Structure 1
Amino acid sequence: MNRGRFIAQVFAGLMEWKKGNTFGTVAFTSYGFFWLTLVGIVSLPKTGLMAPAGEGSMVAFLIMWGIFTAILFVGTLKLTRALQFIFGSLTLLFILLGLGDATGNETIKHLAGWEGIICGASAMYAAAAQILNEIYGREVLPLG
Structure 2
Amino acid sequence: MSIENDKTLSLRDMTANPAPLGLLGFGITTVLLNIHNAGFFPINSMILAMGFAYGGLAQIFACFMEYKKGNTFATVAFGSYGLFWWSLVILLVLPQVGFLNTGGNSPIQAADPTSFAAYLFMWGVFTLVMFIATLKLIRGLQVVFISLAILFFLLAAGNITGSQTLITIAGYEGIFTGAAAMYVGLAQVINETHGRDVLPI
Higher Cα Rg, which structure: 2
Q: Distance in 1 between matches of 2:176 and 2:71?
A: 26
Aligned length: 143
1:33-73 deviations in Å (ceiling 9; x for gaps) = 10111111111001232332345110000000000000110
Over the matched positions of the two proteins, sequence identity in percent amounts to 52
Counterpart contact for 2:113–2:160, Cα < 8 Å:
no
Aligned to 2:69: 19
Q: Residue 118 of structure 1: SS of its match in structure 2?
A: helix
Instruction: Tell me the distance in 2 between the aligned counterparts of 1:32 and 1:142.
Output: 26
Mapped partners of 1:19, 1:109: distance in 2? 38
1:3 aligned onto 2:61: no
* Partner Cα separation in structure 2 for residue 96 and residue 53 of structure 1: 18
RMSD: 1.1
* 1:60 match: 118
Inter-partner Cα distance in structure 2 for 1:113 and 1:67? 19
Q: In the alignment, which residue of structure 1 is the partner of 2:154? A: 96
Q: 1 or 2, which has the higher helix percentage? A: 1
The alignment status of 1:80 with 2:168, answered yes or no, reads no
**Structure 2 partner of 1:40:** 90
Unpaired stretches in structure 1, ≥5 consecutive residues: none
- Which AA in structure 2 matches 1:126? V
